[in-house]
Structure 1
Amino acid sequence: MVSTHPVGVQNSGKKYLPQSPIDHPGISPNQSLLPLTAQVNSSDHLEIGGCDVKQLVEQFGSPLYILDEETLRTACRQYRDSLKLYYPGESQVLYASKAWSCLAVCAIASSEGLGIDVVSGGELHTALTAGVDPDKIYLHGNNKSTEELTFAIDSNCTIVVDNWYELETLVKLGSAAKPVRIMLRLTPGIECHTHEYIRTGHLDSKFGFHPEQLAEVFAFVSQQDTLNCIGVHAHIGSQIFERQPHRDLAAVMVQWLSLAKNHGLDISELNVGGGLGIRYTESDDPPSIEEWVKPICEVIKTACEQENIPLPKLLCEPGRSLIATSCVTAYTIGSSKEIPGIRTYITIDGGMSDNPRPITYQSVYRAVLANKMSASATETVTVAGKHCESGDILIKNAQLPKTQPGDILVVNATGAYNYSMSSNYNRLARPAAVLVRNGEANLILRRENYQDLIRQDCIPERLKK
């Protein structure tokens, strides 16, 4: 499959910029509408990672998650290298695996030197099974169970403590001989413009200790010989385009380091969270990865100099901006319905069970026809899912070429919170996922079948026929 030219797809009357990393070696993946390797081949088909998307659907079925390894690795390297360039102290990038937790993704992130941020025992088990160094795994969560905390302690990963109940539980679970390694999650009280469900830094949030509790928390932790507090953590939200909130966060967190020092805590790590947004539509204009990292590093350096404290180890935990653009979802178009003077629906073989973000967050996506890449966008249609739910609408008012049953619709930027939030609603089986690179496609998630759907079902003997 030889690529002949970079993608130039019409959508909303515009064309995507060329996506080839060869043509644009400095492009930030979070600013791209398609994976970096996206090309159009001589058959007028979309290629990703050197693989023809139509052929991938023929081989693996649809819906199909298609993950471009090159785009994911590029994003990992840009975070890692930007921190090394702009921060003179030690640094560590963590992949926020709640965006997409599976063995292959964790293994790729780890191979690029990243650690893993996990939020459950299941994500912790996945990271460990993928071979991630426990010293680079950080467990988050606002209601971790005793079993999850014990699992994390036994695994020797770091626990990011969210509240008093958890803190007091860990005091009992730890031992003076081997104190539990913890960070403290604090709420900075910083607002940012994003969906209310993904804002986490403002004071009215279920996450983290309130700022007015800081002195009390630091004093309590300093007296516990079963705890080893190594750092502080904060996260202000997701899909953020503004730069100032993260600059403000960095400055506030250095002040926390000074306060902790006054209470006898020798805190050596500072985790500024993640939250950098991506380009879902043509009008989205997020900062690049480097543009996000640089000012945070500058603020921390300046603040530490002013407070006369040594530079902490700087951590960040991107999720969406690492994985979202790396993946697309391919669907097969089926039925259509024209309502004169109102709208035309086209229906795909998936929907809210493999991408719940539109119905949950009113998220907006763009799509292309993978088997008609040069065709002009002549129709405005609404892309509907196949579920028995009126709200199962993937894209409203999509600009597409004339479609027919059997055409392959590709929805961009589906790597974050699509598979990880997927469900079996209407007893639909979850899609397969393939990893593509240099013309090779490897299965990383098997497609579920009907037997998988009933595997956990139990039926009393008296109901059997």
Structure 2
Amino acid sequence: MQSAVSSPAPGWLAVPDDADDLVPAVWPASAERGPDGELIIGGVSADALVRTYGTPLQVIDEGEVRRRASGIRAAFDTAAAANGTTARVYYAGKALLNTTIVRWVMEEGLNLDVCTGGELEVALAGGADAARLGFHGNNKSVAELERAVEVGVGTIVIDSEIEIERLAAIVARTGASQRVMLRVNSGVHAETHDFLATAHEDQKFGTALDSAPGLVARIREIEGLDFVGLHCHIGSQIFGVAGFRESAARVLDLHQELLAGGDIPELNLGGGFGIAYTRVDTPEPIENLAEGIVSAVAEGCAARGISIPALSFEPGRAIVGNAGITLYEVGTIKDVALENGSRRYVSVDGGMSDNARPALYGAEFSARLAARLGDADPVLVRVVGRHCESGDIVVDHEYLPGDVAPGDLLAVAATGAYCAPLSSNYNHVPRPPIVAVNGGESRVIVRGESLSDLLARDAGIER
């Protein structure tokens, strides 16, 4: 077996005893190895999926999505009831949104958060009750706000002073009544990538805490706008409770101050709950997170002598992230000698066009052979894509069996969140289909693109 000491692998990545194992925290609960070593997800083998749909292929386990959605809702319901309040869970649609996902989360009792006009239309097309929608975004257009008011979106989260005036004009013209929240920045910087931390002061979302009283006063004087509470989201891929507790304390100070001007029935503390992408990731169990966050709010309210408001949360990745895998076919392989060892480059037939997260955030993923078991000792690999970028990395650091070869199927785990939404046609590569699996059956829920689809958008081609 290759020695970790002579390897350029990062310190957190140990040589595995079994390079074919499926770490339970990373893979869907339904993931298992079949009699011939093939990967099975939702009762369907990877080999069968590829024979039917080709590669690359994004697969989403319906049972896993539903299990996580209902589990998160139950955890916050339980924590809220134990602390004398109620909780509402919004699925953060930006993680992965299509009409099928909309139906799944709605059927599991969740509300839905959208942040563009396009996401709003997908939610409505999926049959979502507009009253169960929240509408985010730092630059909502007048047309988007008009549409949200028209269809009866439950809550619009105001992100700036300009949006207040845009909504004031809309409700004055239409006579509508619209529930709104104000997004504020608590100043708590989540322990995550800078691009994923969204509550520190120097970024585009929300308003400063000291600006909020004036903005809320303006909202309250507008007939047709119903101010129902504050919103704060501190970031994404957060493992612990500490950041949420500190942020809640700061927002509660503001909440208490604003109570002098009227009732504030709700408080939305966002989402950002982390998941396991690798075997060393240890996210807090959702039950612990829910209890820790809700009890912190309850304790803070008690200390201030105020009633605990109804609470809302917005998980996305925690619901769909580990429910997704992406299947690729291995193309070329090359070994690169380094000063402290060697690394094997394994090229696959997708890449940053279907998973931009490693290039954007340096995100780590896990990979496994998907159609067989390996027969050789583990070797350090970097799984890369087919695009003309040196940063086109799918899995930066991983150990695979040393007999990985061209033609093998490779599965990359935990690709259910932010991979499809961030996908592109870079190098004119068509985006892959999304296939749902459940109970031994599969079906396409988002059609893949063909080269003809890409050419159809080119206005320079004579028809």
Q: TM-score, normalised by structure 1?
A: 0.91
1:373 and 1:70 map into 2 onto residues whose CA distance is 25
**Cα deviations across residues 109-148 of structure 1 (Å, max 9, x unaligned)?**
1110111111100101111111111111111000111111
1:233 to partner: Cα distance: 0.5
Matched, 1:391 2:391: yes
Which residue is equivalent to 1:228? 226
Which residue is equivalent to 2:405? 404
Question: Residue type matched to 1:181 in 2?
Answer: R
2:407 and 2:44 map into 1 onto residues whose CA distance is 19
Which residue is equivalent to 1:81? 74
1:262 and 1:455 map into 2 onto residues whose CA distance is 59
Which residue is equivalent to 2:365? 365
1:396 to partner: Cα distance: 2.8
Which residue is equivalent to 1:95? 91
Which residue is equivalent to 1:4? none
Which residue is equivalent to 1:203? 201
Which residue is equivalent to 1:351? 351
Structure 1 residues 206 and 368 mapped into 2: Cα distance closer, same or farther (>3 Å)?
same
Percent identity between matched residues is 37
Matched, 1:379 2:379: yes
Which residue is equivalent to 1:45? 38
Structure 1 residues 17 and 369 mapped into 2: Cα distance closer, same or farther (>3 Å)?
closer
**Cα deviations across residues 251-291 of structure 1 (Å, max 9, x unaligned)?**
23333322222123x22111100011111111111101111
Whether the aligned pair in 2 keeps the contact of 1:46 and 1:52 (CA below 8 Å) is yes
Whether the aligned pair in 1 keeps the contact of 2:183 and 2:231 (CA below 8 Å) is yes
Whether the aligned pair in 1 keeps the contact of 2:275 and 2:283 (CA below 8 Å) is yes
Aligned pairs for 1:423-462 (under 5 A) are 423-459=424-460
Which residue is equivalent to 1:6? none
Structure 1 residues 377 and 57 mapped into 2: Cα distance closer, same or farther (>3 Å)?
farther
1:383 to partner: Cα distance: 1.3
Which residue is equivalent to 1:23? none
Question: Residue type matched to 1:40 in 2?
Answer: R
Whether the aligned pair in 2 keeps the contact of 1:218 and 1:263 (CA below 8 Å) is no
Unaligned regions of 5+ residues in structure 1, if any? 1-9, 20-31
Unaligned regions of 5+ residues in structure 2, if any? 1-12
2:137 and 2:289 map into 1 onto residues whose CA distance is 25
1:369 and 1:329 map into 2 onto residues whose CA distance is 12
Provide the secondary structure at the position in 2 that maps to 1:62. coil
Provide the secondary structure at the position in 1 that maps to 2:322. coil
Provide the secondary structure at the position in 1 that maps to 2:74. helix
Which residue is equivalent to 1:5? none
Deviates more, 1:178-187 or 1:331-340: 331-340
Structure 1 residues 12 and 130 mapped into 2: Cα distance closer, same or farther (>3 Å)?
farther
- Segments ≥4 residues shifted beyond 4 Å: 14-18, 374-377
Structure 1 residues 103 and 376 mapped into 2: Cα distance closer, same or farther (>3 Å)?
farther
Provide the secondary structure at the position in 1 that maps to 2:162. helix
Which residue is equivalent to 1:111? 107
Q: Say which of 314, 320, 334 aligns to 2:311.
A: 314
Whether the aligned pair in 1 keeps the contact of 2:22 and 2:32 (CA below 8 Å) is no
1:130 and 1:376 map into 2 onto residues whose CA distance is 47
1:365 and 1:377 map into 2 onto residues whose CA distance is 20
1:355 and 1:399 map into 2 onto residues whose CA distance is 20
2:256 and 2:285 map into 1 onto residues whose CA distance is 31
Provide the secondary structure at the position in 2 that maps to 1:186. strand
Question: Residue type matched to 1:78 in 2?
Answer: G
Question: Residue type matched to 2:370 in 1?
Answer: A
1:14 to partner: Cα distance: 4.5
Provide the secondary structure at the position in 2 that maps to 1:421. coil
1:456 to partner: Cα distance: 2.7
Structure 1 residues 81 and 379 mapped into 2: Cα distance closer, same or farther (>3 Å)?
same
Which residue is equivalent to 2:132? 136
Whether the aligned pair in 2 keeps the contact of 1:203 and 1:210 (CA below 8 Å) is yes
Which residue is equivalent to 2:5? none
Whether the aligned pair in 2 keeps the contact of 1:12 and 1:377 (CA below 8 Å) is no
Whether the aligned pair in 1 keeps the contact of 2:23 and 2:279 (CA below 8 Å) is no
**Cα deviations across residues 3-54 of structure 1 (Å, max 9, x unaligned)?**
xxxxxxx9831455774xxxxxxxxxxxx11011001111210100010011
Structure 1 residues 397 and 244 mapped into 2: Cα distance closer, same or farther (>3 Å)?
closer
Whether the aligned pair in 2 keeps the contact of 1:46 and 1:373 (CA below 8 Å) is no
- The size of the alignment, in residue pairs, is 440
Q: TM-score, normalised by structure 2?
A: 0.91
Provide the secondary structure at the position in 2 that maps to 1:324. helix
